[in-house]
Structure 1
Amino acid sequence: MCEEPRRFISRWWRIVIVRGYPKNDSLVTIVREKQQLHPYGLNILLVKPGSSLFSRIFNYVSHVSSFKRYDYPMITKTILNDERLKDVVTVTAWDTANNEGYSKDEAFAKTKARAKNILLQMESRCSDVLLKIVAWLIYKLLPCFIQSAVVLPSQIELLKKANETGLPLVLLPLHRSHLDYIMISFLMVTNNIRNPLIAAGDNLKIPFFGWLLRGLGAFFIKRRIDPVAGRKDLLYRTVLQTYIMESLRAGHNMEFFVEGGRTRTGKPCMPKSGILSVIVDAYMDGTIEDALLIPIAMNYERLVDGNFVREQLGQPKKMETFTSAIKAMWSTLMGHYGIVKIDFCQPFSLREMVQTFQAQQNRTPLRSSPKQPLTYTMSNSSIYGTDVIVEEHRQLVDSIARHVVYDSSKSTPIMSTNVVAFLLLNKFRDGCTLDKLVEAFETIRLELEFNNIDIAFCGENIDIIKHALDILGPGLVMQQRQEITESVDGDQSYKSNVVIAIRPVSILPNVIELSYYSNTMLLYYVMDSIVVTALYAELQSQINDPVAIAENNITVLQNTLVNRALKLCDILRYEFIFCRPCQELEDIVLETIDKFMHKGIITKEEKIYLEDELWSKRYAKNFDDSSDEEYQREQDICQIKYKLSLSPEHSSQMEFLHTMLRPLIDTYTCSAFNLMKLVGRSLCERDLVQEVLNEIKTNLDGGIVNYGESLCVDPIKNSFKLFEKWNVLECHTQENIKILYLKEDYDKEMITKSVYDTVAAFKWTNMKNVN
């Protein structure tokens, strides 16, 4: 279960890229048929006409009418008659009678009516007829702005086999766009698989579109479940939990976004375990015998929803309205968004995963409690909302959620726009020629192919890059033709060459949008960047020492480097999931170090001990309480040191890797600096975020911060979570507003400065002195 999942992805699979749309209709048909019949990918927007006259004239209507019919039973009465819900209604009615002055009968009637109203506002009314009508509309409308929507045929077959098991399918996609759930439902319906019920925020319950989404399988959940901070809305939570569990019992498939909302940065968000905890509860209390969890990753050459720049600059999110939805749809239909790729990971059994993590928990129990088997209590569910949560259950659900997000992120298809944005921001920030970009693109492409990463492009590199530049547009990337004069045969004659100079738009706010596309690539290089950044932090004094450079003798101990890398992973714990829960992060760091040795960036040297030292260590070992294996591992680590290569080629590679995390390090450093301004006072989260944004703006203007994408709200909020985890910050909620202040032990400037120093240690950069 915890091994690398088989993803049914051929390393040689590519999507044919067609730049623009040919005017010749027959040529369009030929090109699209070739796309659809490609052996490693299927464009699901294309339908081959049938043999009958009707299917030739009304191709899509004929195709849609052939879909398998499913019933989607309503379970309203079953939920309202649920014994657990009745108990909660009674308890809530008693509280209402005691607190609001109602009689018992009035309170009971009012509470029962509210429970019914919650359910009616929440429940899906999935319609097979409406699903088919919308499928026809998708066939007609999506090709207006989407070049192709591709999935592997083997993955479709995998879904069909999973559907044939009769177990509920729990679809767990990463969330990038509102188009995500539309595409997944479209793919399920067109392949005769039961459409899932989809958890949606009630902000989408707008006129007409709310009705439409409900008919397509959406059930609506309040964005803020508890209207009053500190008081759990037990009735709402119970209705929601009962609805999900009874839907599973009735045979419905389920779909929800384990991240909660759409990513604003291009990186996966940390998982939220609320609905997943209910799914686990449904298995553990016997409501369902098992379920198949299916992680899903989708990617777009260009994000259909526009961008999230306003929000990342600190402006409030605009609420969805009927008018804004119509405007967004019209704007989308007029755009060109390239390719969409859907990647289904291998389904895995919920039962097997629970059993695996239970066994793992029993082998490595919580330090604060004796070893004991995981037990089940209905009150464990975070949705159900009691205050008592068994720690083992919380860890179980969190581990499954993190496993899903990790697998999905590693399966995310790489688009040409991701690679181009990544190179421009991290390697060619000051600009480059097209030839240089092609050369670097080829190197990245070979690395991705070697590591069997799903890349959604094919053809000549120069054509792929031009296509990506066209999709990104002049607002994100500037292209200029420049004439360069070179001497020929000394100073006797000259020739002029015209080159295309390419430069990222690295000013605000454009650079934030460009970084969204770049961050998808960052997931595949994050551990490399972690180790290099840790190496820089550890070797600052040596790299700045001319003697050490002259003697070509810059070294670092393995355990020192590993500890530095682990510390940086801890700082960025809310930005990335570095490994599966069943893996040891230290092992991943050591594997990354081994990779650098293979590339020649560092070389391993064994520490040489004198005979007296060896005798002393052997003698001391006899009195050591640790096991021989642990002792030997510790000694082996301590004896290994690495020597840094000072060649220009390796220094350039390291600087490239180091640059990737610099925007985040700068953000966290500025956030830590603002802790000192919090001494002796408290601020609401919004005001503190604004202070950090102002600090970053000041540093950008002063040249202290070099990356405009550091000006980003999400990492700032994540840094606050980190400081809370470190017990530096305290959070108190007052009238649904988060109030932040320093804990008593840290409410001193000198102590908060130590927190700043811990983060700022990783800010150092520049290998120029080495070259």
Structure 2
Amino acid sequence: MPSSNAPPKRNAARPQPSEQAPDLSITADDEVHLHASGYNESPERSLVHSMARFRSSPLDFIREVSMHVSGTGWRSYDDVVGQPVFYSGFSEQMKNRVLSNKMLVAKVRDLAAKRVEVEAQEGLLGGAARDGNQVGEKDRKAKRRVQIEESLMEVADTLTDQMICKMESKRYLRGAYYLATQLLTRAYHQGVHVSSEEVLRLRSVAEQAARKNQSIIFLPCHRSHVDYVSLQIICYRLGLALPTVVAGDNLNFPVVGSFLQHCGAMWIRRSFGDDQLYTTLVQAYIDTLLQQGYNLECFIEGGRSRTGKLLPPKFGILSYMLDSVASGRVDDAIICPVSTQYDKVIEVDSYISELLGQPKPKENLMDFLSASSVLSLKLGRVDVRFHEPWSLRSFITDQRDRFNQLPQKLDLKDERLRILRTMGYKVLSEINDVSVVMPTALVGTILLTLRGRGVGKTELVRRVEWLSERVRAQGGRVAHFAGLPTSVVVERALEVLGSELVGLVPGLPEDTYYAVDRFQLSFYRNMTIHLFILQALVSAAMYTKVKLGGGPEVQRISYDDLRDQTHFLSQLFRGEFIFPTEGLDTNLSRTIAILENDNVIKVSRDKDQVTFVELSDAERESGRENFDFYCFLIWPFIESAWLGAVSLLMLTPPLGSGDKEKWLEMKKVQDKAQLFGKTLYHQGDLSYFEAVNKETLKNAYTRFEEDGVVLVTKPVSKDAKAPPTIKLADEWIPERSSRTAGIIGSGPLWAFAEKISLSRREGKNRRDGATVIHRVLHLADVVGAPLWEDAVADMGGGEEETAVQVAKAKGRRRRTNLAGQARL
């Protein structure tokens, strides 16, 4: 590894793209097509032909349906790689295995014994213990314990029946496959594409796993409900055993819930709470599936990403799978990260509403059926990519060996936490590695990273070609274009995005396009940002000097200042993005080398040590188009972080109110932060409306909690549903003017917000200055006032309860910091 400040070698710093294998596409004619590398011919002709058979040749249509019903040829799904599940009585046998699980039986006995002791202490067993009556008391306890055990097993039986998947009938699955394929490939008219190389490798791994009675655990990213369907279709069509899909019971509504359960869905609660029986039952079911070698599918992010980029990993079900293998109850399982990318995601409209603060609607049958409305649309294609699978047992062993080399030994709890977090972020990184950048993502990214109101088609095509080259140079993948001209690819992407997202200015000598809905387009831009996050952070750090204007000598930045601001930004966004694990100095050195190699920056050195960094002459002459591209990628996130920081000013207690220890309801605070951001945007003090999105603001508040800026806890209450509350840590509370009672723009919180603001975009519509400071401080008081008016003066426990809250919040902060260290 070269030193962190060594000069770059030509082309040595950049990841090299690998040759792409041919694509396979699954289209509406029920055929699997092998395409030469670079092939992207649309399968629309097959789709039209299939629809023509339905309208003009009913007999042919009936024959095709009958082939699926009878299971002719590959449709029989007889030669499946994996464990057999499709037979009558499978569900009952699975339920019996779960209910006889030793861990579940032990937990039932333990819960029953504890309950008996409680009832005995409360005198509910009948008769008090007297001399000579000990035998009678033991008999009563034993009898009552048996009753409670039987009752708990009945509950477990019901919960298991509601939970487990029930794939018993091949005929049922054939019909479901036919229906799902027809629906999916009519909505996504260019088909479902996979890599032939990855599929062949996956099939080989599946054959080895089947011989060893091992499960494959598919861990996909989650952007749409279509994710469930696409992976099941691929496994069915290629002859792999269908995985049991871990799904939230919010989708288990009448008719649809039963249908999905018989196609592989495993229903679990969104939250387990303190239900020990249910927690053990889920672990017992996971153990049973893995012990028997049944495949599993679990979304690593938990819920669907509303922003287009990967979310931080959720460790709930992942921890059950890890514990199954780490404990030795399961010998091994195979992990397979999966990336699913779309030209257009069906649910994006609803995502935007949710990000702007609208409550998420509850899933129901009518909404499910209304999905048929998309069938008349042309949503492009779906690309599914499989990372090289790996052994979970080997991963655990490697991590334990690494921990054993640490000077300070970890206890079992900390070791488990670190392994779990390392596994989660490893999977996310590998999903990013195999993700394909779709044409719509390329076009959306370019439209949002150019200055000006619109862009001519010639310039749009040129920049899409440039971005495609940059993606490949970063080791990323671009959807196969074949020999198609880039102009045709751009036209298809514009067609899929539609006029609601991208507008065309009429009557001009050249087609000129502009972003109609920048918020929604940001979803597609965020699909590319992971490839350029390091360049974006370094560019944003350089912008602290570039924004000053003047000559090159004014805009150059010292290496120390560049490193300081880059480190600050990377820590600020450590929960937003997945960073390489080599460390700041190595990553910074590599990124400087890449930008210098691309002639974006010019580097001054003293004895091979970087001293100053500035824009290159070529970049200045080109109007900073490449440098600005990287800044435009990260600026909306910087805006959101700044908004999150200045919104904390609302938590400043009113002057002389004695409310320093008052806790405010978290949801109300975040709702007000969104309102605060919308006001700043419309008043011109916030450059990006997407900066007010709920998810990014929530992530910012999480960072502030981890760093001790705020304390977050639940009140001491018997109400388990009591909302989280928040307050500024004492050392972060701003001062107020004794004369005006207004917040003073000084102190650590304001300095923190100002450091973020150094990298914010400036333009014609906004300049930082005293006027902006005054408006922001005044608005924080105006928007935050209702929070203090609604707050209850007495939290219910006085000083003692407040002390408990603070202790809990600080303890939670320490645990969160440990978790953050575990990820590194």
Where on the TM-score scale, by shorter chain, does this alignment land: which range?
A: 0.7 to 0.9
- Per the alignment, residue 595 of structure 2 pairs with 596
AA in 1 matched with 2:408: K
- Per the alignment, residue 153 of structure 1 pairs with 196
- Per the alignment, residue 677 of structure 2 pairs with 696
2:345 to 303, 307, 310: 303
- Per the alignment, residue 723 of structure 1 pairs with 704
Please give the alpha-carbon distance, in whole angstroms, between the structure 1 residues aligned to 2:233 and 2:532.
Answer: 33
AA in 2 matched with 1:574: G
- Per the alignment, residue 102 of structure 2 pairs with 83
Deviations 1:613-645 (A, max 9, x none): xxxxxxxxxxxxxxxxxxxxxxx75x6433443
AA in 2 matched with 1:84: M
- Per the alignment, residue 291 of structure 2 pairs with 249
| Mapped pair 1:534 → 2:541 | yes
* 2:220–2:298 contact (8 Å) kept in structure 1: yes
- For 1:8-19, list aligned pairs within 5 A: 10-11=19-20
AA in 1 matched with 2:503: M
* 2:732–2:749 contact (8 Å) kept in structure 1: yes
1:270 to 297, 300, 312: 312
AA in 2 matched with 1:604: V
| Mapped pair 1:475 → 2:488 | no
Alpha-carbon distance, 1:288 to partner: 2.4
* 1:298–1:343 contact (8 Å) kept in structure 2: yes
* 1:601–1:644 contact (8 Å) kept in structure 2: yes
- Per the alignment, residue 612 of structure 1 pairs with none
2:232 to 177, 185, 203: 185
Please give the alpha-carbon distance, in whole angstroms, between the structure 2 residues aligned to 1:338 and 1:44.
Answer: 10
Alpha-carbon distance, 1:391 to partner: 1.1
Instruction: Indicate the SS of the match to 1:343.
Output: strand
- Per the alignment, residue 384 of structure 2 pairs with 342
Alpha-carbon distance, 1:569 to partner: 0.9
Instruction: Indicate the SS of the match to 1:520.
Output: coil
* 2:25–2:193 contact (8 Å) kept in structure 1: no
1:747 to 728, 733, 748: 733
Alpha-carbon distance, 1:132 to partner: 2.1
Deviations 1:117-149 (A, max 9, x none): 222221111234122221222343333222211
| Residue 761 to residue 595, structure 1, CA distance change in 2 (3 Å) | same
Identify which range, 295-304 or 34-43, moves more after superposition.
Answer: 34-43
| Mapped pair 1:641 → 2:609 | no
| Mapped pair 1:544 → 2:548 | yes
TM-score when normalising by structure 1 = 0.81
- Per the alignment, residue 196 of structure 1 pairs with 243
| Mapped pair 1:118 → 2:156 | no
Please give the alpha-carbon distance, in whole angstroms, between the structure 2 residues aligned to 1:37 and 1:600.
Answer: 37
AA in 1 matched with 2:505: Q
2:513 to 502, 511, 524: 502
AA in 1 matched with 2:19: S
| Residue 698 to residue 428, structure 1, CA distance change in 2 (3 Å) | same
- Per the alignment, residue 164 of structure 1 pairs with 207
- Per the alignment, residue 64 of structure 1 pairs with 75
Deviations 1:21-80 (A, max 9, x none): xxxxxxx98xx989644456799998999xxx9998966552312542562244222222
| Residue 40 to residue 642, structure 1, CA distance change in 2 (3 Å) | closer
1:137 to 179, 188, 201: 179
- Per the alignment, residue 462 of structure 1 pairs with 487
- Per the alignment, residue 520 of structure 1 pairs with 527
Instruction: Indicate the SS of the match to 1:605.
Output: strand
| Residue 121 to residue 592, structure 1, CA distance change in 2 (3 Å) | same
- For 1:476-495, list aligned pairs within 5 A: 476-483=501-508
Alpha-carbon distance, 1:352 to partner: 2.2
Alpha-carbon distance, 1:171 to partner: 0.4
- Per the alignment, residue 488 of structure 1 pairs with none
Alpha-carbon distance, 1:239 to partner: 0.7
* 1:67–1:190 contact (8 Å) kept in structure 2: no
| Residue 7 to residue 196, structure 1, CA distance change in 2 (3 Å) | farther
Please give the alpha-carbon distance, in whole angstroms, between the structure 2 residues aligned to 1:85 and 1:318.
Answer: 35
AA in 2 matched with 1:567: F
Aligned-CA RMSD value: 3.3
Alpha-carbon distance, 1:457 to partner: 4.2
Please give the alpha-carbon distance, in whole angstroms, between the structure 2 residues aligned to 1:725 and 1:158.
Answer: 41
| Mapped pair 1:215 → 2:266 | no
Please give the alpha-carbon distance, in whole angstroms, between the structure 1 residues aligned to 2:65 and 2:496.
Answer: 34
1:710 to 675, 691, 694: 691
Please give the alpha-carbon distance, in whole angstroms, between the structure 2 residues aligned to 1:667 and 1:697.
Answer: 11
AA in 2 matched with 1:544: L
* 1:428–1:503 contact (8 Å) kept in structure 2: no
- For 1:39-54, list aligned pairs within 5 A: none
- For 1:426-437, list aligned pairs within 5 A: 426-428=449-451, 430-437=453-460
* 1:16–1:457 contact (8 Å) kept in structure 2: no
Runs of 5+ consecutive residues of structure 1 not aligned to the other structure: 19-27, 227-231, 377-389, 484-497, 609-635
Please give the alpha-carbon distance, in whole angstroms, between the structure 2 residues aligned to 1:40 and 1:248.
Answer: 38
TM-score when normalising by structure 2 = 0.76
Instruction: Indicate the SS of the match to 1:195.
Output: coil
| Residue 95 to residue 33, structure 1, CA distance change in 2 (3 Å) | closer
Deviations 1:57-112 (A, max 9, x none): 96655231254256224422222222222222233334545668765445434333
Please give the alpha-carbon distance, in whole angstroms, between the structure 1 residues aligned to 2:506 and 2:98.
Answer: 67
Alpha-carbon distance, 1:694 to partner: 1.1
* 1:44–1:149 contact (8 Å) kept in structure 2: no
AA in 2 matched with 1:259: E
Alpha-carbon distance, 1:281 to partner: 1.6
Deviations 1:523-553 (A, max 9, x none): 212111111011223x26xx6374xx1x646
Deviations 1:5-28 (A, max 9, x none): x9997348679999xxxxxxxxx9
Instruction: Indicate the SS of the match to 2:687.
Output: coil
| Residue 297 to residue 170, structure 1, CA distance change in 2 (3 Å) | same
Please give the alpha-carbon distance, in whole angstroms, between the structure 2 residues aligned to 1:16 and 1:247.
Answer: 30
Aligned residues: 671
Please give the alpha-carbon distance, in whole angstroms, between the structure 2 residues aligned to 1:655 and 1:145.
Answer: 36
Instruction: Indicate the SS of the match to 1:75.
Output: helix
- Per the alignment, residue 757 of structure 2 pairs with 760
| Mapped pair 1:584 → 2:583 | yes
Please give the alpha-carbon distance, in whole angstroms, between the structure 1 residues aligned to 2:26 and 2:444.
Answer: 18
2:640 to 646, 667, 674: 667
Identify which range, 651-660 or 694-703, moves more after superposition.
Answer: 651-660
| Residue 150 to residue 696, structure 1, CA distance change in 2 (3 Å) | same
Please give the alpha-carbon distance, in whole angstroms, between the structure 2 residues aligned to 1:8 and 1:450.
Answer: 6
Alpha-carbon distance, 1:477 to partner: 0.7
AA in 1 matched with 2:179: L
Identify which range, 276-285 or 250-259, moves more after superposition.
Answer: 276-285
* 2:16–2:475 contact (8 Å) kept in structure 1: no
| Mapped pair 1:260 → 2:302 | yes
* 2:343–2:438 contact (8 Å) kept in structure 1: yes
Runs of 5+ consecutive residues of structure 2 not aligned to the other structure: 1-12, 51-59, 126-143, 654-661, 716-720, 736-746, 766-824
AA in 1 matched with 2:502: V
Alpha-carbon distance, 1:309 to partner: 1.0
1:371 to 388, 397, 408: 408
AA in 1 matched with 2:84: D
Alpha-carbon distance, 1:429 to partner: 5.2
| Residue 174 to residue 123, structure 1, CA distance change in 2 (3 Å) | same
| Residue 143 to residue 604, structure 1, CA distance change in 2 (3 Å) | closer
* 1:173–1:296 contact (8 Å) kept in structure 2: yes
Instruction: Indicate the SS of the match to 1:499.
Output: coil
* 2:25–2:194 contact (8 Å) kept in structure 1: no
Instruction: Indicate the SS of the match to 2:437.
Output: coil
Instruction: Indicate the SS of the match to 1:482.
Output: coil
- For 1:30-45, list aligned pairs within 5 A: 36-38=34-36
| Identical positions, percent | 22
- Per the alignment, residue 312 of structure 1 pairs with 355
